Structure 1
Amino acid sequence: MTDAKPANAAPRLIPFMYHLVVNTTRLPLLLRGQRVVALGRELIPATGRLVIAGGNHTSNMDPFIIAQTLPEGRRVQFMAKKELFKGPVGWIISGGGSFPVDRKKNDLGAIRNALRVLQAEGTLGIFPEGTRGGQELQGGTALLALKGKAPITPVWLNLKGRTWIVRFGEPIQPTGSVRELTERLDAAFDALDAQS
């Protein structure tokens, strides 16, 4: 008997590892005296495929903070830069369901993995800028949402004093062209930023 996953399966998410990663990443926040407040969680659909799109990626903690604020039963699998998947850290975040992407090329393997997460009725986490630091939105998030027939829930993170404010927006339905959907996502991020 083999434990190999089928070639067309979504990246494996081990629930124990997922919860270990999410709960362990609370520690650095506690040590810094920081807390996390989630606004708009009720806007997140309880079930079904979903893309969680982070509008501003400023910290290595962003994916973990988003994961901490999702409703019970909603586990997010992030597409993350391949450099994070080396050594023990890579094994841990892989066990948590995340998967690598080579940002220097059109990584078809990562795109397939993202679509498999959605086809399995999972939650895909992605930062549409493609990196930290306020870049222009890339069209990949819209493309994945359209191909995967998944709504996009925009999320905006803001650190005010010692409080992380995680603000979720209304889900955006996957309709129109990649460009149109990217523009709607960008407008949703602007609206969330204005509320921060």
Structure 2
Amino acid sequence: MREGKSTESRHWTQRFLYNLLRVVARIVAVGFYRIRVFGRENWPAEGGALVCSNHQGFMDPPLIGLCCDRQLNFLAKKSLFKFPIKAAIEWLNAIPVNRAGTGLDGLKETLKRLRGGEMVLIFPEGTRSENGDLGQLKPGFVAVARKGRAPIVPVVFDGSFQAWPKWQLLPSIGVVHVKIGKPITPDEIAQMSDEELLSALQQRMDTMFREVRYSRARSMNPRIHTTDKTQFA
């Protein structure tokens, strides 16, 4: 199965623009953020997937997108879908969500794209981090994964908070490390209760986050010894 009819039917100009911006983002990420990506082999090669990531700052959606060779869809506030950026974010596969309402419009479109074989990025913490740490996940992703019949791909990164936190007007140069984890398959999801699935994803992302924070710290200070991992727990 390929990515789905909805992706295949998109105009070639959309695919070209998305791919071009991904190349530009990769160049910027390497040049200004010394980005390192671990676990690329864990991206599903085909079919729908719900990508669940931590959320540190403004650059997070393009940060995850540049790490994946397939196109990603992502959720965006409905208020952003106004001139002059409306066309741009639509071409980058944004799904409008009305946070002031029920959000059902965004949910329906998310499920449509997952069932159509596309990948959708969400941030289950619900908001950007106040201190760069991974917070408690909210359970909203559980119903989306079950109804969308899609695997959950955990993704964590560290360094986005330091480069561009939510209170900073412009980004600064930094170091970013990203880790893509093994997917939780639909069969595994079906065997868990909602509470078990929430706990399983939280534990997996907690472990991955400690690992990626440690690798980032080591890249900036090679004198950190492997026995110092406990300070990143």
What TM-score, normalized by structure 1, do the two folds share? 0.82
Distance 1:114 1:135, change over 3 A: same
| Residue aligning to 2:194 | 178
| Residue aligning to 2:60 | 62
Counterpart of 2:117, as a letter, is E
Are 2:136 and 2:202, in contact at CA under 8 Å, matched by a contact in 1?
no
SS of alignment partner, residue 62 of structure 2: helix
For residues 86-123 of structure 1, the C-alpha deviation after alignment (integer angstroms, 9 at most, x for no partner) is 22323111111111112233211100010011111110
| Residue aligning to 2:204 | 188
Distance 1:39 1:29, change over 3 A: closer
Output the aligned Cα RMSD.
Answer: 2.4
Matched, 1:40 2:39: yes
User: How far apart, in 1, do the equivalents of 2:98 and 2:199 lie?
Assistant: 24
C-alpha displacement of 1:35: 2.7
After the TM superposition, list the runs of 4 or more consecutive aligned residues in structure 1 that deviate by more than 6 angstroms: none
Are 2:157 and 2:179, in contact at CA under 8 Å, matched by a contact in 1?
yes
Matched, 1:144 2:144: yes
SS of alignment partner, residue 35 of structure 2: strand
1:42-191 to structure 2, matched below 5 A, reads: 42-54=41-53, 56-70=54-68, 72=69, 74-133=70-129, 136-159=136-159, 162-173=174-185, 174-175=189-190, 176-191=192-207
* Equivalences, count: 183
Counterpart of 1:66, as a letter, is I
User: How far apart, in 1, do the equivalents of 2:135 and 2:77 lie?
Assistant: 16
| Residue aligning to 1:6 | none
For residues 119-142 of structure 1, the C-alpha deviation after alignment (integer angstroms, 9 at most, x for no partner) is 111101111112212553222212
Distance 1:88 1:101, change over 3 A: same
For residues 167-189 of structure 1, the C-alpha deviation after alignment (integer angstroms, 9 at most, x for no partner) is 01111123223332222111111
Are 1:156 and 1:193, in contact at CA under 8 Å, matched by a contact in 2?
yes
Give the gaps of 5 or more residues in structure 1: 1-8
Are 2:71 and 2:119, in contact at CA under 8 Å, matched by a contact in 1?
yes
Higher normalized helix content (fraction of residues)? 2
Higher normalized strand content (fraction of residues)? 1
Identity of paired residues, percent? 32
Counterpart of 2:34, as a letter, is R
User: How far apart, in 2, do the equivalents of 1:181 and 1:150 lie?
Assistant: 13
Are 2:48 and 2:117, in contact at CA under 8 Å, matched by a contact in 1?
yes
C-alpha displacement of 1:29: 4.3
SS of alignment partner, residue 47 of structure 2: coil
User: Which structure would you say has the larger Rg?
Assistant: 2
